[in-house]
């Protein structure tokens, strides 16, 4: 398949006229026709004729950036002008936005071609993508298992070659979690690195916009386009955007890789642990120096995260009252209602200081512990999720187990650092396992370089599920 190639490879082929953008778009729609019925990766697919019209215009253009003519999709958490946006909830089933999110505008301006909107847990509430009002997303590696959430549709679409890349949204692990379960790369950026304007908010102090793709080199190409300050988003950073794709070849010799011992706590399954240890050995063989470090507050990260996230989402969802936006608010699902109720309780007078206030103090403790580690470490390394992808339905009656899927990702979100999830191997049953590379704030370049070096030395990210063979 043409879409097995990296974005850089596709760009070279497009510029030399060896392939056309029309061919790429045709291939994407063919994959959607073959696999979307089984996977439920999309909520909305653009009319094929419209995407082909964009492809033909790209093929005829003499101006060609790195993403020009490349088909992409995005999580349905981003508003798209004249294209339905639902956030995975029937509350917004008839909502057609009058404008597009900044990230969408940047990608379209770069010449990338939008294919459609990906399925997601309603409002971003979930780690398995079973909380979508449009049905659960299935894992291409085993369709009886979850694809991860809440950006599960994006991960499944990229894994199934329904697009070259997707844009997910990561609040507590929603890019990294499904990327690891579906054997692709996913980047949670530094908070403020990419504009959130036009993103339907889950938890405003935690939400980040990031790319999901087959390889780290693809992630670098996409990030160069979408990163940067946005006058419409006061939380976006004015820091200069590096040329990430030119910084990928940074050598790992002498790189200090810290491995927090708390990642090996109870709950980490033996298979995931063994694969992660082998991955650390590979980085050592490439010249990296690994050292054991500690983040004492890490075990409290999930509790801190969910108190803050639920408090913020209870506030954000107040706007969907059936008058100004969307349909009847009774369409809220069980998980959405649970988070609204808990969040409202945490903010209630008499409980605010004891619950939400203490969570904010816990967040500050985590930030200080991470900051202290940068004195001795260049990056941190850990498993992405503690277990293999669950069977569909396994966690539907066990809410706490579902929340614990974010045990290794949520603490990173709380401190605002970037984290790159990449494939690290497979279980004995053939299920993907990922690891995450965590960096200093605004140092995406270093974690991308580490991930790229690992992928040059391994081929896990090139493996394809049997369903595609």
Q: Which residues are catalytic?
A: 75, 150, 174
Angle formed at CA 357 by CA 356 and CA 360, multiple of 5 degrees: 90
**CA 227, CA 243: separation in Å to the nearest integer?**
11
Q: Which residues of 169-200 are buried (b: 16+ CB within 10 A; e: fewer)?
A: bbbbbbbbbbbbbbbbbbbbbbbbbbbbbbbb
Between CA 107 and CA 303 the distance in angstroms is 36
Report the distance separating Cα 224 and Cα 332, nearest Å.
37
CB atoms within 10 A of CB 426: 17
| Among candidate residues 296, 436, 307, the one with its CA nearest the CA of residue 370 | 296
From CA 400, how far away is CA 413, in angstroms rounded? 19
Positive or negative CA dihedral for 115, 193, 179, 413? negative
Give the CA distances from residue 452 to residues 102, 257, 455, in Å, rounded to whole numbers and listed in that order: 27, 15, 5
The string of DSSP letters for 214-233 reads: SSHHHHHHHHHHHBS-BTTB
Residue entry with tokens 């999709």 = 73
**Cβ(346)–Cβ(307) below 8 Å:** yes
Q: Which two tokens stand for residue 373?
A: 């580690």
């Amino acid at each position: 398949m043409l879409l097995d190639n990296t974005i850089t490879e596709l760009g070279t082929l497009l510029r030399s006229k060896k392939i056309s953008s029309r061919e790429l778009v045709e291939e994407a729609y063919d994959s959607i026709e073959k696999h979307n019925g089984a996977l439920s990766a999309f909520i909305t697919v653009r009319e094929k004729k419209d995407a082909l019209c964009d492809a033909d215009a790209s093929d005829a253009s003499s101006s060609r950036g790195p993403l020009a003519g490349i088909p992409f999709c995005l999580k349905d958490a981003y508003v798209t002008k004249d294209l339905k946006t639902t956030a995975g909830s029937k509350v917004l089933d008839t909502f057609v936005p009058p404008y597009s999110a900044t990230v969408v505008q940047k990608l379209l301006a770069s010449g990338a071609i939008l294919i459609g909107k990906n399925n997601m847990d309603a409002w971003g509430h979930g780690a398995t993508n079973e909380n979508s009002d449009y049905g659960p997303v299935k894992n291409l590696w085993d369709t009886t298992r979850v694809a991860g959430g809440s950006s599960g549709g994006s991960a499944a679409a990229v894994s199934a070659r329904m697009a070259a890349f997707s844009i997910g949204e990561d609040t507590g692990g929603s890019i990294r979690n499904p990327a690891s379960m579906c054997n692709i790369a996913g980047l949670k950026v530094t908070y403020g690195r990419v504009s959130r304007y036009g993103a339907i908010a889950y938890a405003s102090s935690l939400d980040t916009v990031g790319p999901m793709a087959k390889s780290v080199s693809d992630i670098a190409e996409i990030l160069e386009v979408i990163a940067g300050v946005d006058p419409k988003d006061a939380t976006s950073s004015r820091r200069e955007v590096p040329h990430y794709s030119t910084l990928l070849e940074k050598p790992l010799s002498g790189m200090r890789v810290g491995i927090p011992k708390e990642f090996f706590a109870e709950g980490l399954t033996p298979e995931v642990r063994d694969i992660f240890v082998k991955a650390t050995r590979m980085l050592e063989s490439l010249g990296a120096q690994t050292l054991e470090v500690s983040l004492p507050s890490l075990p409290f990260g999930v509790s801190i995260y969910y108190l803050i996230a639920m408090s913020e989402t209870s506030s954000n969802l107040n706007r969907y009252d059936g008058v100004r936006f969307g349909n009847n608010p009774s369409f809220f699902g069980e998980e959405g209602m649970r988070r609204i109720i808990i969040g409202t309780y945490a903010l209630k007078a008499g409980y605010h200081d004891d619950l939400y206030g203490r969570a904010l103090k816990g967040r500050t403790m985590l930030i200080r512990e991470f900051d202290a580690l940068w004195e001795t470490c260049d990056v941190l390394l850990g498993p992405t999720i503690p277990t293999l992808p669950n069977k569909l339905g396994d966690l539907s009656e066990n809410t706490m187990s579902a929340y614990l899927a974010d045990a290794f990702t949520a603490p990173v979100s709380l401190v605002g650092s970037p984290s790159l999830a990449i494939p690290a191997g497979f279980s004995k049953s053939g299920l993907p396992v990922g690891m995450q590379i965590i960096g200093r704030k605004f140092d995406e370049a270093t974690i991308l370089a580490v991930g790229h070096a690992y992928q040059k030395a391994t081929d896990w990210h090139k493996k394809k599920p049997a369903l595609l063979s």
